[in-house]
Amino acid sequence: MSGAVESEAFRDAERERQADAFGMWIFIGSEAMLFGAVMLVYLTARMAHPEGFGEASSRLSLLLGTVNTAVLITSSLAMALADLLVKLGRRRAAAWALAATALLGLAFLAVKGVEYADEVREGLAPVLGLPFAFEGADPRGAQLFFELYFASTGLHAAHLIGGLAAIATVLATWRRSTDAACLRRTRAVGLYWHFVDIVWVFLFPLLYLVHR
Protein backbone atom coordinates (compact mmCIF):
# COMPACT_ATOMS: atom_id res chain seq x y z
CA MET A 1 0.00 0.00 0.00
CA SER A 2 2.42 2.69 1.05
CA GLY A 3 5.80 1.31 0.03
CA ALA A 4 6.12 2.66 -3.48
CA VAL A 5 8.67 5.30 -4.25
CA GLU A 6 8.12 7.83 -6.94
CA SER A 7 11.65 8.83 -7.76
CA GLU A 8 14.24 6.57 -9.34
CA ALA A 9 16.77 7.70 -6.78
CA PHE A 10 15.17 6.37 -3.62
CA ARG A 11 14.79 2.83 -2.40
CA ASP A 12 12.33 3.41 0.41
CA ALA A 13 9.32 5.62 0.77
CA GLU A 14 10.16 6.97 4.20
CA ARG A 15 13.46 8.34 2.97
CA GLU A 16 11.76 9.86 -0.02
CA ARG A 17 9.23 11.56 2.23
CA GLN A 18 11.99 12.99 4.39
CA ALA A 19 13.79 14.22 1.31
CA ASP A 20 10.66 15.93 -0.02
CA ALA A 21 10.06 17.70 3.25
CA PHE A 22 13.73 18.69 3.51
CA GLY A 23 13.65 20.03 -0.04
CA MET A 24 10.58 22.09 0.76
CA TRP A 25 12.27 23.53 3.86
CA ILE A 26 15.22 24.63 1.76
CA PHE A 27 12.89 26.21 -0.77
CA ILE A 28 11.16 28.02 2.08
CA GLY A 29 14.59 29.23 3.20
CA SER A 30 15.16 30.76 -0.21
CA GLU A 31 11.71 32.37 -0.17
CA ALA A 32 12.48 33.79 3.24
CA MET A 33 15.50 35.48 1.70
CA LEU A 34 13.27 36.95 -1.02
CA PHE A 35 10.68 38.35 1.34
CA GLY A 36 13.39 39.33 3.77
CA ALA A 37 15.00 41.46 1.07
CA VAL A 38 11.70 43.13 0.21
CA MET A 39 10.92 43.79 3.86
CA LEU A 40 14.37 45.24 4.34
CA VAL A 41 13.72 47.66 1.50
CA TYR A 42 10.45 48.58 3.19
CA LEU A 43 12.10 49.10 6.58
CA THR A 44 14.82 51.28 5.07
CA ALA A 45 12.21 53.44 3.35
CA ARG A 46 10.17 53.62 6.53
CA MET A 47 13.11 54.82 8.59
CA ALA A 48 13.64 57.57 6.05
CA HIS A 49 10.00 58.67 6.09
CA PRO A 50 8.44 57.94 9.47
CA GLU A 51 5.75 60.64 9.26
CA GLY A 52 4.72 59.87 5.72
CA PHE A 53 4.51 56.15 6.38
CA GLY A 54 2.46 56.68 9.52
CA GLU A 55 -0.09 58.85 7.79
CA ALA A 56 -0.30 56.62 4.73
CA SER A 57 -0.69 53.47 6.76
CA SER A 58 -3.71 54.91 8.54
CA ARG A 59 -5.49 55.13 5.19
CA LEU A 60 -5.43 51.34 4.79
CA SER A 61 -8.53 49.51 5.91
CA LEU A 62 -7.67 48.01 9.28
CA LEU A 63 -10.96 46.12 9.23
CA LEU A 64 -10.30 44.36 5.94
CA GLY A 65 -6.70 43.72 6.86
CA THR A 66 -7.69 42.08 10.13
CA VAL A 67 -10.40 40.04 8.43
CA ASN A 68 -7.86 38.82 5.92
CA THR A 69 -5.41 37.89 8.64
CA ALA A 70 -8.11 35.83 10.32
CA VAL A 71 -9.04 34.19 7.00
CA LEU A 72 -5.47 33.21 6.25
CA ILE A 73 -4.75 31.85 9.69
CA THR A 74 -7.93 29.78 9.49
CA SER A 75 -6.82 28.47 6.13
CA SER A 76 -3.60 27.32 7.77
CA LEU A 77 -5.70 25.55 10.36
CA ALA A 78 -7.56 23.76 7.59
CA MET A 79 -4.22 22.82 6.05
CA ALA A 80 -2.90 21.44 9.32
CA LEU A 81 -6.11 19.44 9.60
CA ALA A 82 -5.58 18.03 6.13
CA ASP A 83 -2.10 16.91 7.11
CA LEU A 84 -3.39 15.21 10.24
CA LEU A 85 -6.21 13.48 8.38
CA VAL A 86 -3.91 12.07 5.72
CA LYS A 87 -1.62 10.71 8.42
CA LEU A 88 -4.63 8.98 9.95
CA GLY A 89 -5.46 7.46 6.59
CA ARG A 90 -8.71 9.39 6.16
CA ARG A 91 -8.10 10.48 2.60
CA ARG A 92 -11.55 11.73 1.69
CA ALA A 93 -11.77 14.00 4.71
CA ALA A 94 -8.26 15.23 4.01
CA ALA A 95 -9.23 16.16 0.47
CA TRP A 96 -12.13 18.21 1.85
CA ALA A 97 -9.78 19.96 4.25
CA LEU A 98 -7.45 20.81 1.37
CA ALA A 99 -10.38 22.19 -0.58
CA ALA A 100 -11.38 24.31 2.42
CA THR A 101 -7.84 25.67 2.58
CA ALA A 102 -8.02 26.65 -1.06
CA LEU A 103 -11.42 28.28 -0.62
CA LEU A 104 -10.19 30.37 2.27
CA GLY A 105 -7.19 31.35 0.15
CA LEU A 106 -9.54 32.49 -2.57
CA ALA A 107 -11.50 34.47 0.00
CA PHE A 108 -8.29 36.20 1.02
CA LEU A 109 -7.65 37.18 -2.58
CA ALA A 110 -11.23 38.46 -2.95
CA VAL A 111 -10.91 40.70 0.10
CA LYS A 112 -7.55 41.94 -1.16
CA GLY A 113 -9.18 42.73 -4.48
CA VAL A 114 -11.81 44.81 -2.70
CA GLU A 115 -9.08 46.68 -0.83
CA TYR A 116 -7.13 47.36 -4.03
CA ALA A 117 -10.27 48.63 -5.75
CA ASP A 118 -10.95 50.99 -2.86
CA GLU A 119 -7.42 52.28 -2.94
CA VAL A 120 -7.54 52.89 -6.67
CA ARG A 121 -10.82 54.74 -6.29
CA GLU A 122 -9.42 56.96 -3.55
CA GLY A 123 -6.41 57.86 -5.66
CA LEU A 124 -4.01 56.03 -3.39
CA ALA A 125 -2.54 53.65 -5.97
CA PRO A 126 0.63 55.10 -7.53
CA VAL A 127 0.93 52.25 -9.99
CA LEU A 128 0.49 51.89 -13.73
CA GLY A 129 0.42 55.67 -14.06
CA LEU A 130 -2.77 56.05 -12.05
CA PRO A 131 -3.17 59.41 -10.34
CA PHE A 132 -1.96 59.59 -6.79
CA ALA A 133 -3.32 62.24 -4.48
CA PHE A 134 -2.30 62.54 -0.87
CA GLU A 135 -2.70 65.52 1.41
CA GLY A 136 -0.40 65.33 4.30
CA ALA A 137 2.95 66.44 5.60
CA ASP A 138 4.99 64.08 3.49
CA PRO A 139 3.35 63.15 0.20
CA ARG A 140 6.54 61.64 -1.14
CA GLY A 141 6.83 59.35 1.83
CA ALA A 142 3.18 58.39 1.47
CA GLN A 143 3.68 57.60 -2.18
CA LEU A 144 6.67 55.44 -1.37
CA PHE A 145 4.59 53.66 1.25
CA PHE A 146 1.84 52.83 -1.19
CA GLU A 147 4.29 51.72 -3.84
CA LEU A 148 5.87 49.30 -1.40
CA TYR A 149 2.42 48.24 -0.15
CA PHE A 150 1.36 47.22 -3.64
CA ALA A 151 4.72 45.63 -4.41
CA SER A 152 4.87 43.52 -1.26
CA THR A 153 1.21 42.51 -1.07
CA GLY A 154 1.30 41.83 -4.82
CA LEU A 155 4.28 39.55 -4.37
CA HIS A 156 2.53 37.82 -1.48
CA ALA A 157 -0.64 37.38 -3.52
CA ALA A 158 1.39 35.89 -6.38
CA HIS A 159 2.82 33.35 -3.95
CA LEU A 160 -0.65 32.64 -2.63
CA ILE A 161 -1.88 31.96 -6.14
CA GLY A 162 1.03 29.59 -6.58
CA GLY A 163 -0.09 27.81 -3.44
CA LEU A 164 -3.62 27.54 -4.80
CA ALA A 165 -2.28 26.06 -8.02
CA ALA A 166 -0.28 23.52 -5.99
CA ILE A 167 -3.35 22.50 -3.98
CA ALA A 168 -5.38 22.20 -7.17
CA THR A 169 -2.73 19.95 -8.72
CA VAL A 170 -2.60 17.75 -5.65
CA LEU A 171 -6.38 17.43 -5.54
CA ALA A 172 -6.61 16.70 -9.25
CA THR A 173 -4.42 13.62 -8.86
CA TRP A 174 -5.68 12.67 -5.39
CA ARG A 175 -7.79 9.67 -6.35
CA ARG A 176 -5.18 7.79 -8.29
CA SER A 177 -2.23 8.51 -5.98
CA THR A 178 -0.81 6.11 -3.43
CA ASP A 179 -1.13 6.82 0.27
CA ALA A 180 2.56 7.59 0.48
CA ALA A 181 2.30 10.09 -2.37
CA CYS A 182 -0.71 11.80 -0.79
CA LEU A 183 1.10 12.08 2.52
CA ARG A 184 4.23 13.46 0.92
CA ARG A 185 2.45 16.00 -1.19
CA THR A 186 0.19 17.23 1.59
CA ARG A 187 3.21 17.66 3.82
CA ALA A 188 5.12 19.62 1.18
CA VAL A 189 2.22 21.86 0.14
CA GLY A 190 1.37 22.34 3.79
CA LEU A 191 4.84 23.64 4.59
CA TYR A 192 4.62 26.07 1.70
CA TRP A 193 1.15 27.24 2.70
CA HIS A 194 2.16 27.86 6.29
CA PHE A 195 5.11 29.87 5.05
CA VAL A 196 2.87 32.08 2.90
CA ASP A 197 0.75 32.57 6.00
CA ILE A 198 3.74 33.57 8.09
CA VAL A 199 4.83 36.10 5.49
CA TRP A 200 1.42 37.74 5.86
CA VAL A 201 1.75 37.68 9.63
CA PHE A 202 4.84 39.85 9.16
CA LEU A 203 3.41 42.03 6.41
CA PHE A 204 0.23 42.87 8.29
CA PRO A 205 1.79 44.70 11.24
CA LEU A 206 4.51 46.22 9.06
CA LEU A 207 1.97 47.72 6.68
CA TYR A 208 -1.24 48.19 8.65
CA LEU A 209 -0.05 48.92 12.15
CA VAL A 210 2.36 51.80 11.67
CA HIS A 211 1.73 54.29 14.48
CA ARG A 212 -1.48 52.65 15.59
Judged by the rule CB under 8 A, the positions of this chain that interact with other proteins are 7-10, 15, 18-19, 22-23, 26-27, 29-31, 33-34, 37-38, 41, 44-45, 48-49, 51-52, 126-129, 136-138, 140-141, 143-144, 147-148, 150-151, 155
Min dist. Cβ of residue 99 to other proteins (A): 26
- Residues sharing a CB contact under 8 Å with residue 52, sequence separation 6 or more, in sequence order: 136, 137, 138, 139, 140, 141, 142, 144, 145
Min dist. Cβ of residue 182 to other proteins (A): 18
SS3 of residue 181 by DSSP:
helix
Min dist. Cβ of residue 8 to other proteins (A): 5
Query: Which residue, 18 or 61, has its beta carbon nearer to other proteins?
Result: 18
Q: From 23, 36, 16, 7, select the one nearest 191 (Cα to Cα).
A: 23
- Residue 6: what are its φ and ψ, rounded to 5°? -95, -35
Angle at 130 between CA 128 and CA 136, to 5 degrees: 125
Q: Dump the DSSP string for 109-173.
A: HHHHHHHHHHHHHTTB--STT--B---SS-HHHHHHHHHHHHHHHHHHHHHHHHHHHHHHHHHHT
Min dist. Cβ of residue 77 to other proteins (A): 28
Query: Which residue, 17 or 101, has its beta carbon nearer to other proteins?
Result: 17
Min dist. Cβ of residue 53 to other proteins (A): 11
Query: Which residue, 38 or 93, has its beta carbon nearer to other proteins?
Result: 38
Query: Which residue, 1 or 30, has its beta carbon nearer to other proteins?
Result: 30
Min dist. Cβ of residue 6 to other proteins (A): 9
Angle at 29 between CA 49 and CA 87, to 5 degrees: 125
Query: Which residue, 8 or 176, has its beta carbon nearer to other proteins?
Result: 8
Query: Which residue, 38 or 99, has its beta carbon nearer to other proteins?
Result: 38
